[in-house]
Amino acid sequence: MTLKREVYAELEQIVGAEHISDKPHVLAGNRHALPAAAVKPVSPEAIVLPASADEVARIVRVCNRHGLRYIPIVSGLIFFAYPTQPGTIIIHLKRMNYIEFRDEDRMVILEPGIRHVQLQPEALRRGLTYPAAAVGPGGTVLGNFACSAGDNHNQNGSSRTNRYLLGIEWVTPEGEIVQLGSLATGSGWFCADGPGPSLRGLIRGYSGAMGSFGVVTRIAIGLEPWSGPEVLPHEGRTPDYIVRLPRDTHRAFVFKFPTLDAVRDAMHEIGKAEIGAGVIKYFNCTAALLCTSSANEFHELWDSGLFQRELAMPLYVYLATHSAAEMTYQQRVLEDIVQEFGGAPVDERIQKFYDDNMDFYVLLGSLQRVLRLGGAWAPDKLEADSVHHMFEAGKRIKEYFPEMIAQGLVFDAPDNWQIIPLEYGHVAHIEHLFLWERSHPAFAQIPGMLMGKSMESDLKYGIHAKTIMAGGPLLERFGPLYSNYHVWLNALRAAFGAAPAGGPPGPPGAAGHPPRGPSAQGGTRPP
């Protein structure tokens, strides 16, 4: 389908001729670029680059009038940022890059075009910081805080990004500009809720609407105090760079434990003691990818078995304190806890990597290394519940995953899952990442097969470990596990004029209301 000339002209009138294109080579560069996708890329009909909320609202209204779908994007790092059906345009938000720090209030107001590589260094210079998701420096800050995912390496001492949202400005699926919370009454950007019913949960919820529910055009987020230097101390150049923070107030440790229960219990005790900015049972295969700078180097390391031995049951701890005395205190508490649960330091080569790469906890510069192998990867578990529950979910992976490995369908990395507690262990997040080969004859079916097994396991044991879906055949079976969310979902869809989830497609508009798949990180559609 080609965009009708009169529709193109309407859009062009809004953004100007320089900020719209339907040239084949421009569209080709914006088809989905992720190796995980098994289907032929669908081309967007056009790309428009608005400069303001008003222009976004007018574009949305044009789309609604002409039955066009649209997807708002900035970085395009996840599958949902790309069209899956003809008749879709991309609203690229990179020109919307307003930013305003309010240092005294420890907040920043920003538009979608601001990326982590811009915000975090500027915040550090001001003695401030925020939990930056490990999506890499190019990720959009607003996208992560208001529209998708939100887990990060430092959420033990802080939280998921959605908890830091203050004011929100939103273009609804109808194309109306709405300001939420304190903004709505002219009281400023300090709170996303009230007076009156809050729409924050509707727009953001747990994992975000992934572009399927209007466009968020401006947000304010809360910032934290930063006790480190104004500029991250670094030596060398990527990929061989070193980032070490002053040891009197910043230290990173990696321990190994004899059992998963011991990791879990140590995690709990660290939370109770309210120490540790970052506490993670981290992925071991992803860690090996991050530690190496080529595919060959990765395979050499992985084949050596070091990461399988040392990091099958690890606990990463990052202490970030405001004084040397506080560091001494936190470290002693940590050592006691580690000793109590039988923990021990990991091989010194692994510890050295984290001593030398403390950006892992601040703004992970080398994240894109995890995509290096050129095959596909996706999560089959990605959710949150209590620390205990997440470990139960993790232990079940070994009930269905080894047979997939034995059949040669997925990479042999059964321990490649992470658990990160939030808010000192009041909640925890789980993510199990699996890798598979593009060249495998069953390439297109592998994620569906694996996710099917994973979901059946969750249903069997009553486990909350899967990003809940906005549609698909399992909606009715999963709904009761998640407080009957499917009932609420359909009530909301009805309120916004969309068809019930799992039914025929709803009206066009915000990304066409496609059922959102299980993956928030570049995976595939639900099976």
Ligand X SMILES: Cc1cc2nc3c(=O)[nH]c(=O)nc-3n(C[C@H](O)[C@H](O)[C@H](O)COP(=O)(O)OP(=O)(O)OC[C@H]3O[C@@H](n4cnc5c(N)ncnc54)[C@H](O)[C@@H]3O)c2cc1C
Residues near ligand X (CB under 6 A) are 71-78, 80-81, 93, 112, 133-135, 139-140, 142-144, 147-152, 210-211, 215-216, 367, 370-371, 520-522
- Element holding 356 (H helix, E strand): helix 348-356
The nearest distance, CB 77 to ligand X, in angstroms, is: 3
Residue closer to ligand X by CB (options 115, 453) is 115
The nearest distance, CB 6 to ligand X, in angstroms, is: 26
Name the nearest CA neighbour of 152 among 421, 433, 435. 421
Residue 435 β-bridge partners: 377
The nearest distance, CB 54 to ligand X, in angstroms, is: 15
The nearest distance, CB 372 to ligand X, in angstroms, is: 10
Residue closer to ligand X by CB (options 89, 337) is 89
The nearest distance, CB 326 to ligand X, in angstroms, is: 27
Residue closer to ligand X by CB (options 53, 223) is 53
The nearest distance, CB 141 to ligand X, in angstroms, is: 8
Question: Using CA atoms, how far apart are residues 132 and 119, in angstroms rounded to an integer?
Answer: 9
For ligand X, which residue has the nearest CB? 211
Residue closer to ligand X by CB (options 78, 489) is 78
For residue 424, give Cα distances in angstroms to 278, 384, 386, 395, 421: 9, 14, 11, 22, 7
The nearest distance, CB 107 to ligand X, in angstroms, is: 18
Residue closer to ligand X by CB (options 181, 343) is 181
Strands (E), 22-152: 47-48, 69-73, 88-92, 99-102, 107-110, 128-129
The residue type at 425: G
The answer for residues whose C-beta is within 8 angstroms of residue 339's C-beta and 6 or more apart is none
The nearest distance, CB 248 to ligand X, in angstroms, is: 28
Question: Per-residue DSSP letters for 383-412?
Answer: EEE-HHHHHHHHHHHHHHHHHHHHTTSS-S
The nearest distance, CB 512 to ligand X, in angstroms, is: 12
Residue 432 in contact with residue 404, Cβ under 8 Å? no
Helix locations, 359-474, DSSP H: 387-406, 446-461
Residue closer to ligand X by CB (options 154, 454) is 154
Residue closer to ligand X by CB (options 112, 365) is 112
Residue closer to ligand X by CB (options 34, 338) is 34
Residue closer to ligand X by CB (options 143, 271) is 143
Q: How many other CB atoms are found less than 10 A from the CB of residue 314?
A: 23
The nearest distance, CB 421 to ligand X, in angstroms, is: 15
The answer for residues whose C-beta is within 8 angstroms of residue 236's C-beta and 6 or more apart is 242
For residue 352, give Cα distances in angstroms to 178, 244, 356: 49, 11, 6
The answer for residues whose C-beta is within 8 angstroms of residue 365's C-beta and 6 or more apart is 136, 137, 238, 241, 243, 359
The answer for residues whose C-beta is within 8 angstroms of residue 291's C-beta and 6 or more apart is 301, 350, 353
Residue closer to ligand X by CB (options 270, 370) is 370
Question: Per-residue DSSP letters for 267-334?
Answer: HHHHHHTT--SEEEB--HHHHHHHH-SSHHHHHHHHHHTHHHHHSSSEEEEEEE-SSHHHHHHHHHHH
What's the angle, vertex CA 408, arms to CA 403 and CA 413, rounded to 5? Answer: 70
Phi, psi of 396 (to 5 degrees): -70, -20
Respond yes or no on whether the N-terminal peptide bond of residue 239 is cis (omega within 30° of 0): yes
Residue closer to ligand X by CB (options 119, 262) is 119
Residue closer to ligand X by CB (options 338, 501) is 501
The nearest distance, CB 404 to ligand X, in angstroms, is: 22
The nearest distance, CB 498 to ligand X, in angstroms, is: 16
Q: Which region, left, alpha or beta, applies to residue 87 given φ > 0 means left and ψ of -120 to 50 means alpha?
A: left
Question: Using CA atoms, how far apart are residues 298 and 373, in angstroms rounded to an integer?
Answer: 9
